[in-house]
Every structure is written in C-alpha cells, then in structure tokens.
Chains A and B, each alone.
Chain A
Amino acid sequence: MFEPQTLLVLIPALPLAACLVTVVLGPHVLRDSSHWPTVLGLVGSLVLSLMLVASWQQRLEVRGAPAELLVTCWSWVDVAGAYRQAPAPPSPTGVAVQPGGLRDLRVDVVLRADALTAIMLVMVTFVSTLVGIYSIGYMRGDRGYWRFFACISLFVFSMTMLVSVSNFLLVYVFWEAVGVCSYLLIGFWYQKPEAAAAGKKAFLVNRVGDVGFALAIFLIWITYGTLNFHDSPGVDGVLGQARLSGALGYVGGGVGLAICLCLLLGACGKSAQFPLHVWLPDAMEGPTPVSALIHAATMVTAGVYLVTRCAPLFTVSPEAQLVVASIGGFTALLAALMALTQFDLKRILAYSTISQLGYMFLALGTGTLAGITAGMFHLFTHAFFKALLFLGAGSVMHAMGHVIDMRRFGGLRRVLPVTHVTFAVGCLALAGVFPLSGFWSKDAILASVHERAHQLDHELAHRQPQPGAAAGHTTPDRPASDRVVAGVDSHARWDAGREGGSGPALSTGQLRQHARVYRGLYWVGLGTAFLTAIYTFRAFFLTFYGRERIPHEAGEHAHESPRSMVIPLVILAVGAAVVGGWLTGTGGFARLLAETPSLTLATIRESAGAGGFHYDIAVASSVAALVGIGLAAFLYLGHDREIELLTWLLDGRWLKGLAERPWGARLAGMPLVAAIRRGADAAGLGSLARLLGNLVLLLILLLISPLLIGYYVSPYRLSRDKFFLDEIYAVLVVWPLRATAAVCDAADRWLVDGLVNVLGRIPVWAGGLMRALQMGLVPFYGLAMLLGILTLIAARVLWGAG
C-alpha cells in the first residue's frame, strides 16, 4: 500500500505531529484526553514499522534489490567551497578533493532504511505503544498529564529519527534530542528536588559521553572526509558500498583506535556503562513508564545501536573491540554486584539494565557476525522483558501508593495476581531460563564470546609451528601499521582458511593476550548470569512472597491495576516468553540482520560463524541460573534471612569480636608470657623483652589488618553503597567544578559586575558634584549668570576679531 520511502518518513513524522498537537491542544482543550494524539501516533508508527519490515522481507526475496533505502528529506547545510583543504597526495581514503583544495560542506537530512533500522524501529515503536497505553492508567490525575505525553511522543520522534538518519552529525543531533527528552522526563515532577537533580545528573553525565562522540565525529571527518553513511555522487559515505566492498576500506592503526574509543565513550554515556553509569539509578526518580521506555528499552540502546552501526570501523581495530568487550563485561559484573543489596525495586531493575547492556557490549566486542547478532538479539529481547519488569514495578508502585522500598511491603501475590504472574515471567526471562527469550539471547552472547576466544586460540596454535615469515602470508611479528587497508587486500588478510579473516595483523603476544581476555570475559559473563538470577529473584521473592505487608500510603489503592495498565503487561509477558524461541528457531532475526550493509563487510561476514547451538554453553548458563534461583529462594522465599546471614558474613560482624577483644592484654596476662617477662627481668633484660613483646604484637596487628579493613569496608557495604563511585565522582569531578563555578561566580559578581557598577556610579557621582552647585541660593545663581556672561564677553573681547 505505502511506498517504503513514505513509510520511512511517516514513522517519525507521526509522533512529531502527535507531540505538536498535544502541546498546542493539551493544556486547555484535551486535558485528561491528552493521551489520544500520542497513542494514536505511536500505534500508527508501530503499524508502519511492521509494514516496513514486511516489505523488507519481500524485497530481500527479490534478488539484486539494494539492501538499503534512501529518502532525502531536505538539504540542511549546503555551502559550496566552504573551506580549504591542504592539498594531499591521492590517498586511499578517496576524499573528493576539488581542484584548488576547496571543499564543499553538504549535510542533507537523509533517512536510510536497512535491516538494522527496521529492527530498531519495530522495537522502539512497539515498546513505546505499550508504554503509552500503560501511562494512561499510571499517570491519570497527574497535573502534567499533557506534558508527559508530549514529551513521550517527542522522545519517540527523536529515537526513530536517530535510528533512521544517515549522517553522523544528524545522529548527534538526535542523540542530544533523546538526551533532552530524558532530562525532561526524569525531572517530570520537577518540584521534587531529587527528581530535578537526577535529571541534571543524567544530562550532564551523558554530556561527558557526548564529548567523546563529538571527538569521534571530528576524527571521522578528518579521516574519511565525509560524515554520511550513504554514498552520494562524488562522495563515498563512511558506510557506503565503496568502502564496504573493500575498494577503499577503513583506516586502522592509531587513528582508527582513537575513532573507535571515542565512539565507545559516547556509547558508554548513553548506554550507562562504566564509568558513566552513575546516572541511570538516579534516573529512577522519573515516572515508571519513563523508566520502562527510555531507560530500559530505547534510549539506553542507542549506544548499542551506534556501535553496531559502526561495526566496520571497529573491525580494523581489534584493540578497540577488546576494550568494548572488557568494558561490557566489567560493567555487567559491577552492576550485578551492586544490585545484590539494593532495597529499591526500581533501582535493582536499573542496575539490571546496566548489567544487561554490559552483556550487549560484551557481545559486540567480539567483532564477529555471531557476536553482533547476539548483541542485537539480546537488545531486542531485553526490551521486552525489561519493559515488562519495569511496568510490573510500576504496577506495584501504583498499588502501594508510590512506595517502592521493598522493606516496607511484602507478600503481594494475592493482592496483585496478574502483576505477580507477569513479573514472574519477566524474571525468568531475565535470569535466562529455558525456554523464555532471555535464555536464547544470553546463550547466544556467551556462545559468541566463547567462539571468539576459541578462534583466537586457533590462530595462536596456527602460528606457533611457523614462526616468522611463511609462504602465503606476510605477517610481521609487530603491531599493525597505520593506514592498513582491510578487506580483500591480501597483504593483511588472515590466511585462516575456514575461520575467515579477522582484520589486520596481530602479533603473537597480542593474540595470546586477547585470547586470555576473551576467555576471562566468558567466565565473567557466566558468573554475572548467576548473580543476575540471584538478585532478580531476590527482588521477586521479597516483593511477592512472605508476610503480607502493605504500607499505610497505599490506602485504598492496594488492588490490581486498571485494565489499561494490565493489558500491556500481559502482551509484554507473552512477547518475553515467546519471541526469543520463535526468532531463534526460525532464524529470521539473524537472517534479517545479516542483510545490513554494514555487516556485509568481508571481515565480519567471514568471521566465526553464527553456527549451531552450543549445548555445553546452554547447559552451563542454565545451571548457573537455576542455582542462582535456588539460592535466592533459600535466602528470601518467605523470610528475610538476609539481615541475619549475609550481613553477618559479608558485613564483617564476625570480625567485630576480633577487633574488640583486648587481645593484647589477654596475651600479656597468659602465664607463659608472664614467665618470660619475669625471667627477662631477672636477667636484667626486662626492657628489651618488653620491646620485643610490643614488636610481636605490632606484627600480629599488621598481619590481621586486612581483616580489620574489611570490617570497616565490608563487601556488603561496598555493594550497597554502589562501590562509593558516586562519592568518588563527587570528590574528583563535582567538587572541583563547583569550586571553579564559585570562583567564576565571584569573579563575575565582584570583578565584572563591580567594574560595571563602578562605571555606572561615575555619572551618579559626577551628577552629585554638579548637584551640589544647585544650592537654591539666588546670589549664587546671579554669580553663575555673571560668570557665564563674562566668559562669553572675554572670549569675544580678547580673542575675537577686532
């Protein structure tokens, strides 16, 4: 019915129109019906996205159809001869240099549809629609009802545009736009100081990441001469056919590494990875639908989308890929550790999001098609079950009168039956229990990491028997040089046979190191799966099982949520349960994603295959999940043994006795020691003996000091206080900034304003002087008149002509 081009333009346009209508008509006309434009727009976008995917499937069946679709909306910047480029010899980067070195600056708003975009659009619009319907019930009666829906539709517009545009600059624009929407929505209840502060924190921490993104854009501009993804006449896009097919290739070495690391910084900011993860838990101050939409399913996945989109850029820099994987794995573990001891249900889910995003980055860091597919697949399924969990938490909050501290309620499975069941489904999916969707995606991630480590081991083994130069390939035993052209150029291609190429040459030492890291990351992933199961089911059992406690704020609300809130829960539960297995079974997701032009790069395509099902890994992850669930059940099901057991163990209570007993005195009081002392006194060496005794005591103290430190900084406290990262940032970053701002403020107030005030006072002072002349005395007026006349006459007489 619709042309794909029209669909592509309409999908962002509908939410934008909804936003404008809500803003104009919302406050006074629509009021409590302000949800209609937004919901209708979102439903429309969802339908159009599904139609786009369907048409895409049809296109792919036709041989020779282009894998991407371009729609040029308008030309934003078009300056001919905008700047002069120093003439360079014809470089393999293929920069279009006009005679004379003058270059044009041209930025067009071009929407580009390929498989990746289609998948992201479907996910975004689907979750947005369900969250929109949910918000009708959740936000009912709120004073800012229309403002909420306006911001939601603006956000959906920004997100859909982010995944659709075909230029790095425009991605940056919408990157910022989603950040702004996040700020607006986190601080939705702006009168609450914590919410306003959380909004600011989110925006500012994102800003730090955006600096990285901007630097990456600058570097890409310098290196590739253009910021477009697509090819246009005369200019080869960064992700265009010319580069992807290997004719031009990508720049590796130091520049490539810098680009990738800067992109990673940007992605870390938006996707809340270490060290820029601190904003996401505080972002839970916003309404729960916002948390579900933005901070679980859509905005935080923008970073993952960016890394996936720029996969070709990452392939030429294995070090960068390693960094991506390491950060992903580390963050996953860190967040899981922090989630173990939180009491705020939404905060647990926030840390869980950070952890799962870490998983996605871990998968993307392998650089293989399997890894990238696994990461995107996990993103897809994660959207389902995380949104489900958040909406369920919202349902609990709604029933409990906006109390979210798990210590204050319990045993809610009879009060909220539907929420209980859907939440259970979500938890099982998150923990990765067969056959729910989380199992399939997490398994794919672990499998890809394992494969990568395996592949690197193979390379190592392959190299060992032939040190130095061998026939068939020139693999110098030194790091890759700059400006290596990847792709079909045989000079740098791995002669690895069935395992395929994997980018530029790596030295043996590097290979060994990489292999070790990936293997370690595999075990990290497995351990994090175990921890995920624990904290997820801890939250589940603490909320829904045990003694039924309802806080007094609940009042009349302690019942199941209205239908508008329950139906999305059910839909998402069905999705979370079914989608993973279905997509993996049919292989449709992998096939569709593989059609993305970026992922057709030879090195990615021919890397470790997305191969068959790895039974051993599946078993390992399932065992980890089940053991975790069991442990959680043992600790939390029906009772609150945490305080007694874990705090005793991890909080170092058992060290308390050690630290407090007067060991020194008891030692000194022992008969043996007393005997020694008496003997030493008799021998005249009393003081020496006493000194030795003190030294021995000091030695014992030094030996047990780690345990004493552990008493004060116990693992439990570390985990509960988020490893003191917020406090560290406050000291390192916030306090110096505040001091600088205070200095600037003082300088502005006293120096600049002081100078201006002084300058302003000068006329006043001068006027005061003049004013003193007006004494009101008539003789003085007469004198003044006389003096004036005299001056005139004198001038005329003495200096006048004749």
Chain B
Amino acid sequence: MSELALLQNYLLIGALLFGLGLTGFLVRRNLIVMFLCAEMMLQGISVSLVAWGRYHDDWGGQMLVVFILAVAACEAGIALALILMLRQRSGSLDIVAWQQLREEGQARYVDREVPEEREEPPQWPRLTPAGIEPPWDPDEALHRSHV
C-alpha cells in the first residue's frame, strides 16, 4: 500500500467532510443543526490528523484527536446550555432571530417566502371490510314498499 496514496485519500475525505460541515454551518438556520455541522467539521479535521499522523509515523496526530474529542465534549455541553438559554429568550431555535448587532437604520431581515410544508395526505388505516352484503331485490329496488 502506498503511504502517499493513503494519505491523499484520507486527506480528501477529511477535506470533504470539513467542506460539508462548513456548508451546513453556514446554510442551516437551526442552532442545533449548525452545531452538529460544526462537530462534523471537527471530525473531518480528525480524519486528516490521523492520516498525517500515520504518514509521518507521529503519535501527535492521534493525541490531538483525543484532545479534540475532549474539547468537543466540553464544547457541546456549554453550547447546548447556551442554545437552551437563547431559545428561552427568543422562543425559537432560529439563528436569524438574533439580529441585534445590525447597524442603525438597517431594516430587520425578514424571510421572503417560506415554502409551504406539503401536507402529507393523511394515511387512514385500511380496514378489512366487515359484514355480508344483503341480496339485491330487483322488485324492491323498482317498487319501494315502504318509505
């Protein structure tokens, strides 16, 4: 196995993971999802680090990943506490709700159109039909005997 090839492969995966995490962080508006994407970025970095560590035969790569793990855990704890607080204050998990840092005279950013949530047609349970159909009386059908 070519060490260099291995390195290249894993580096690419790490880069892709990082890129995806970055995109998600920038695009998503839910605070928790943003944080999840940040965790994804950290994972990408971890993959790269381990790859470099193996390539250079250095324990430092894996050590750093261990510490990244620890730090990520702390970070997650505090961040979630903060997210809870933010949710208490603004009533939603939307990051766009926090616009106090805008300049004086700037209008508040308001979403232009929110795609409607397509209502899924209610799935009614399908029941087996019960009972027997009564016989059809042509006479009765033609000349009703009672009202």
Q: Convert B1-39 into 0s and 1s, putting 1 for each residue whose CB lies closer than 8 angstroms to a CB of A.
A: 000000000000000000000100111010000000000
Q: Which one of B61-69, B99-107, B116-124 contacts A? A: B99-107
List CB contacts (< 8 Å) of A749-796 with chain B: 771-772, 774-779, 782-783, 786
Interface string of B85-116 (1 = CB under 8 A from A): 00000000001101111110110010000000
By a CB distance below 8 angstroms, the chain A residues around B101 are 774, 776
Q: Give the distance in Å from the alpha carbon of A778 to the alpha carbon of B31 in the complex.
A: 11
- 29 A-B residue pairs with CB within 8 Å: A771-B103, A771-B105, A771-B106, A772-B103, A774-B101, A774-B103, A775-B102, A775-B106, A775-B109, A776-B99, A776-B100, A776-B101, A776-B103, A776-B106, A776-B109, A777-B95, A777-B96, A777-B99, A777-B102, A777-B109, A778-B95, A778-B96, A778-B98, A779-B26, A779-B95, A782-B25, A782-B26, A783-B26, A786-B26
Chain A residues with CB under 8 A of B100: 776
Residues in B whose Cβ lies below 8 Å from that of A774: 101-103, 106
**Chain B residues in 8 Å Cβ range of A772:** 103, 106
The distance in angstroms between the C-alpha atoms of A778 and B97, with both chains bound, is 10
The minimal Cβ–Cβ distance linking B94 to chain A, given in whole angstroms, is 10
- Other 9 A-B pairs with CB < 8 A, given A772-B106, A776-B102, A776-B109: A774-B102, A775-B102, A776-B99, A776-B101, A776-B106, A777-B96, A777-B99, A782-B26, A783-B26
Number of interface residues of B (CB under 8 A): 16
B106 touches A779 (CB 8 A): no
- Interface of chain A, helix or strand or loop or mixed? helix
CB distance from A778 to the nearest CB of B (A): 5
Chain A, Cβ-Cβ closest to B104:
A771
Q: Residues of B contacting A778 with CB < 8 Å? A: 95-96, 98
Q: How far is the CB of B85 from chain A (nearest CB, A)?
A: 15
The distance from the CB of B121 to the nearest CB of chain A, in whole angstroms, is: 34
Chain A proximity of B4: nearest CB distance (Å): 18
- Chain A residue total in the interface (Cβ 8 A): 11
- Residues on A with beta carbons closer than 8 Å to the beta carbon of B96: 777-779
Min Cβ gap B43→A in Å is 18
Name the 10 nearest CB pairs between A and B, nearest first.
A776-B102, A776-B99, A776-B101, A771-B103, A774-B103, A778-B95, A782-B26, A775-B102, A783-B26, A779-B26
Contact (Cβ within 8 A) B22 A786 = yes
- Contact in complex: A779, B102 (CB < 8 Å): no
Q: Which residues of A contact B26 (CB under 8 A)?
A: 779, 782-783, 786
Contacts A772-B106, A786-B22 given; indicate if A779 touches B99 (C-beta within 8 A).
no
Query: A509 to nearest B CB, angstroms?
Result: 86
Q: B106 to chain A: which residues have CB within 8 Å?
A: 771-772, 774-776
Asked if A779 and B98 sit within 8 Å, CB to CB, the answer is: no
Return chain A residues, CB-CB under 8 Å to B98: 776, 778
Query: Cα distance A776–B96 when bound, in Å?
Result: 8
B residues within 8 A CB of A771? 103, 105-106
| Residues on A with beta carbons closer than 8 Å to the beta carbon of B25 | 782
Q: Are A779 and B29 in contact (CB under 8 A)?
A: yes
Interface pair A775/B99, CB less than 8 Å apart: yes
B18 to chain A, nearest CB (A): 12
Which residues from B are CB-within-8-Å of A775? 99, 102, 106, 109
Nearest A residue to B100 via CB reads A776
A772 to B26, CA, bound (A): 19
Nearest A residue to B96 via CB reads A777
Q: Complex Cα distance A778/B83, Å?
A: 14
Q: Beta-carbon contacts of B36-50 to A below 8 Å, as 1s and 0s?
A: 000000000000000
Residues of A within 8 A of B29 (CB): 779
What is the bound-complex CA distance between A782 and B96, given in angstroms? Answer: 13
Q: In whole angstroms, what is the CA distance A777 to B103 when docked?
A: 11
Give B86 Cβ to nearest chain A Cβ, in Å: 11
Of chain A, the residue at the smallest CB distance from B28 is A779
The interface residues of chain A lying within 8 Å CB-to-CB of B99 are: 775-777
Once bound together, how far apart are the Cα atoms of A772 and B109, in whole Å?
A: 11
Q: Complex Cα distance A774/B100, Å?
A: 10
Residues of A within 8 A of B22 (CB): 786
What separation, in Å, do the CA atoms of A786 and B102 have in the docked complex?
Answer: 19
Q: How far is the CB of A206 from chain B (nearest CB, A)?
A: 56
A318 to chain B, nearest CB (A): 81
How far apart are the CA atoms of A786 and B100 in the complex, in Å? 22
Within 8 A of B (CB), among A265-302: none
Against B, the Cβ 8 Å flags (1 = close, 0 = not) of A294-314 are: 000000000000000000000
A774 closest partner in B (C-beta): B103
CA–CA, A782 and B103, complex, Å:
17
CB neighbours of A783 from chain B (8 A): 26
